[in-house]
Structure 1
């Protein structure tokens, strides 16, 4: 993981697509979308030179793989210089099964998750009711996947980068970690050039407004999960009058500093790890007789791997780094907990293969050594522009993180190349009010490992007009994760604009 302060955004797409969810709706079968309302498809007021982008016609055609129809959206690399270099943004649309009331634009997270791949799984990411009435549209944000992808390391170099020690605790390990981060940053600059300064979330939000207009929608209807909530909130901040029905599920708040994100996510992963450990104990756990014993066993295993990696598979050894990312992978979805337990038992017996496979799944690396996407390169490229590292001593941050999150604090506070990044951040963390926007629906899960529930409450309180759906449960994000209460609330909002009574709704497991 190349940007551990925001690991959720790397895995959101994979976590969502792995779930075997039945596409069902609890609304009346004849429910039709109402009140979507007209909006503006022209460039934002006060801008010039953007007309040709807002007025372009997409040339839809067959996709390289799967169903749907694909096109390229042209946008300026620099919105301050619309006559300069342009970028091509990959877009995929899965047409509605019935008469479309408009488009539902989706983003799975990251930054670095492919909206194209996410939309291609439309039957699994939204309900049948929504599929009947909305075209599901995804795009790969600039710098991601098929949209002018950021490149930093070769596949072999990425193997070494992920194998490094994520919890450096000696001067030699710290120096090696700093060299690895510098090499990563240097590689991004050498291979990606000027694009590296134009892949911020604000840039992607402006691209999304061009897409909205070209699709013919007066206002944006949207599903953002994980980092996708940050993108959606940024859009609402920039274009409040163009906000339609936005669902933000698994919130990363735009006012969070890098230190807050590192510590907040570490605490979330600690909570999830202890929940897994207790679940293991409740099922006759082979790793210990109490949750504390199970956690201690895992920490002892990681320490042993730091000293002596295990043989694994697919051309890699199970180092502490690969094992850490494998454990992280399982924390996103409680459906993977038993797999994690089995993998740790195998590692205890000297076989690092199963745990390394979880790590490879985290990284998107296949058995042949090929990385299937550039998520681990796009993630820091976007994050380092969005949120500058604080001015404090990095060692102090690690110490504070370890104190508040003893299991994950050191790993998630140590893993960042932004101190060596060649491009200065273009954004300052700030609250988003989105005054004048239509009501926004915020969704949070109480034991979400990567986007703590408190962040959902925080954004809900900041927004001028919003409602909050609370999912009392485990796992990352809530919609279409087998909770009918959450699914019904979200579908009803998209179809009718109706929000929970009193502005808040709690859904049990």
Structure 2
């Protein structure tokens, strides 16, 4: 089943089966973790964001509190790890910033030192999104070797897995066959029995998370992760943070800027989120984003000879109706996949596979082939591969902790989108209008945080980061996971933002083939010169 997130996996995986969003199938925003909010002037709102918050994230005091000086003064012990040239270490942070004496949390850090030539510019921290994506995995598999050579020459490339994620004391919920059953649960219930089964699945997942990490679960908020980044900045010896965050990583980076505007250096927020929106609005607008991306795929599909959803003369709307009809057939009767563990392709898994391919237009051919196999040959293997990539499931039923961490952060950062099945039913017309194909499933996927074992600590709010250096906010016009309007909204909130627009498809823009985008961001990272506000690339 879906759980909403924004995440960009390693470039290799993104090119083949782009992992997407899940755990409330997105719903991320700022949590309290020691920060406060205050009333502030209202920025222009994106169309449809009628429920946006006008509260503003308040900066923390510039002076480091005495009880935190030990954390800020620690020394890292680096060791070789992973591929040649990479080093790893561990940094300590307080589990609870409000009460640092109550214990530490260990955070995994990795780096690849600047290769030269040219003067070293400091550390460049990267985050691929999620929440729940492993920043260290992203660094070792893509950023540390795939970022532009001129950037890697001048910066130490650095990543930290946020608290509760991957190597940093990971939250672990369901595993193996239990997780297989969870991901295959019907997310378009037809009656009270199926609704009850869906609610039971959410409850089982939540209870497992609570049993695994009862203390940690209260301290995995985005604000706390942002505070951890400031500890790391100091430990690395950098006066200001230089950072590239994608997808959810933009919310993490914007939160850092809001808390520490005087320490925010060159920040790139690619595939931006709008922190002022409540969970239901976020989920609804993301549903619209997936529909926009699907329409683009459909227009391309009907021009291709291998499009099983419709041939020449078929309209994109008809393509959508054909896909919806296919999903309904799977709802009634799943099809075989040849999976060694005996899994069949359910409606939920097929929907996940299709949505996964919306993240990168390079995956559209793979999706067409998978749909042809499923619809004409009764073979669901191709769609299951796409779905497994989304969930980071390996052969044999081993899952990463992506989905567990994703839910843990999302459900702490914002009040739940819905608190009962009745609320979902009331909202179904709006979600189905936003996306006739995906709306119903994405609405029911937004119910998961209703049963979370710990209460949320965050609320929606604006981030202004008054006094920060120029920040580059990047938006893609047909981004499925982080709709372009979110980049516009975040740029309107941040006092020093420069909006950079990519007119195209796919999730995020940097390193995806636009020389115009890459040149603008590289110039900013290397020289500190941001692109002209409003610059557009294609």
Instruction: Give the TM-score taking structure 2 as reference length.
Output: 0.87
SS of residue matched to 2:432: helix
Equivalent residues in 2 for 1:183-332, closer than 5 Å: 183-284=204-305, 285-289=307-311, 290=314, 291-312=316-337, 313-315=339-341, 316-332=343-359
Q: 1:292 to 1:2 in 2, by over 3 A?
A: closer
- Distance in structure 1 (CA, Å) of the matches to 2:243 and 2:97: 23
| Aligned-pair CA distance for 1:19 | 4.1
| Aligned-pair CA distance for 1:66 | 5.3
- Distance in structure 2 (CA, Å) of the matches to 1:217 and 1:123: 19
| Aligned-pair CA distance for 1:340 | 0.5
| Aligned-pair CA distance for 1:82 | 1.2
Asked if 1:47 corresponds to 2:65, the answer is yes
SS of residue matched to 1:473: strand
- Distance in structure 2 (CA, Å) of the matches to 1:344 and 1:124: 33
Of 130, 133, 136, the match for 1:110 = 130
Asked if 1:174 corresponds to 2:170, the answer is no
Q: 1:303 to 1:14 in 2, by over 3 A?
A: farther
- Distance in structure 2 (CA, Å) of the matches to 1:489 and 1:79: 37
| Aligned-pair CA distance for 1:67 | 3.9
Which residue of structure 2 lines up, in the alignment, with residue 429 of structure 1? Answer: 460
Asked if 1:132 corresponds to 2:136, the answer is no
Contact 1:2 1:380 in 2 (8 A): no
Asked if 1:352 corresponds to 2:380, the answer is yes
Contact 1:443 1:470 in 2 (8 A): yes
Asked if 1:396 corresponds to 2:434, the answer is no
Contact 1:259 1:397 in 2 (8 A): no
Q: 1:125 to 1:456 in 2, by over 3 A?
A: farther
Of 500, 511, 520, the match for 1:489 = 520
Which residue of structure 1 lines up, in the alignment, with residue 503 of structure 2? Answer: 472
Contact 2:2 2:442 in 1 (8 A): no
Equivalent residues in 2 for 1:334-483, closer than 5 Å: 334-348=361-375, 349-371=377-399, 373-390=400-417, 393-415=423-445, 416-483=447-514
- Distance in structure 2 (CA, Å) of the matches to 1:403 and 1:301: 19
Asked if 1:13 corresponds to 2:35, the answer is no
SS of residue matched to 2:386: helix
- Distance in structure 1 (CA, Å) of the matches to 2:393 and 2:82: 21
Q: Which moved more, 1:402-411 or 1:350-359?
A: 402-411
Which residue of structure 1 lines up, in the alignment, with residue 114 of structure 2? Answer: 96
Which residue of structure 2 lines up, in the alignment, with residue 27 of structure 1? Answer: none
Contact 1:479 1:486 in 2 (8 A): yes
| Aligned-pair CA distance for 1:391 | 6.6
Structure 1 residue runs without a partner (length 5+) = 21-41
Q: 1:169 to 1:247 in 2, by over 3 A?
A: same
Structure 2 residue runs without a partner (length 5+) = 17-59
Q: 1:223 to 1:323 in 2, by over 3 A?
A: same
| Aligned-pair CA distance for 1:399 | 2.6
Q: 1:86 to 1:111 in 2, by over 3 A?
A: same
| Aligned-pair CA distance for 1:2 | 4.9
- Distance in structure 1 (CA, Å) of the matches to 2:125 and 2:61: 19
Q: Which moved more, 1:279-288 or 1:456-465?
A: 279-288
Contact 1:232 1:248 in 2 (8 A): yes
How many correspondences in the alignment?
Answer: 481
